[in-house]
Amino acid sequence: MTGRSVALDPQRHAVRPDLADIRLADRVFAPHYAAPMEMIATRDAAILAAGGPDADTVGTLSAGDAFDVLEITSAYCWGRQQGKDGVVGYVVREAFEREAEQAA
């Protein structure tokens, strides 16, 4: 990165205080960067603002939609919905193919 970090919309760009998409490394500083892992939704699922069942819904994935995963926890994946206007958030881990998780 050269120069200062720029402010990016965290609802459209996969950047948090602790982690950012490696494709944003030329624009923002983060303690850790991750390369996105494409995962395909096997069922419809909500994209949530936080990793918890009571979090606000910020978007939706339909079965067959691609999601760039940057972090996987026991229950949720954090990342960005693919596409120009993709939404950033958390999706329940069960919404994705098991084979894609094991290949990573």
Q: What is the pLDDT of residues 40-97, one digit of tens each?
A: 999 999 999 999 989 999 999 999 999 999 999 999 999 999 986 789 999 999 999 7
CATH number at residue 63: 2.30.30.40
Could you tell me if residue 15 is inside a domain?
A: no
Give the domain range for residue 90: 20-103
Tell me how many degrees the CA angle 14-21-53 measures, rounded to the nearest 5. Answer: 45
What is the reported pTM? 0.86
Domain annotation covers residue 4: no
Number of domains the chain contains: 1
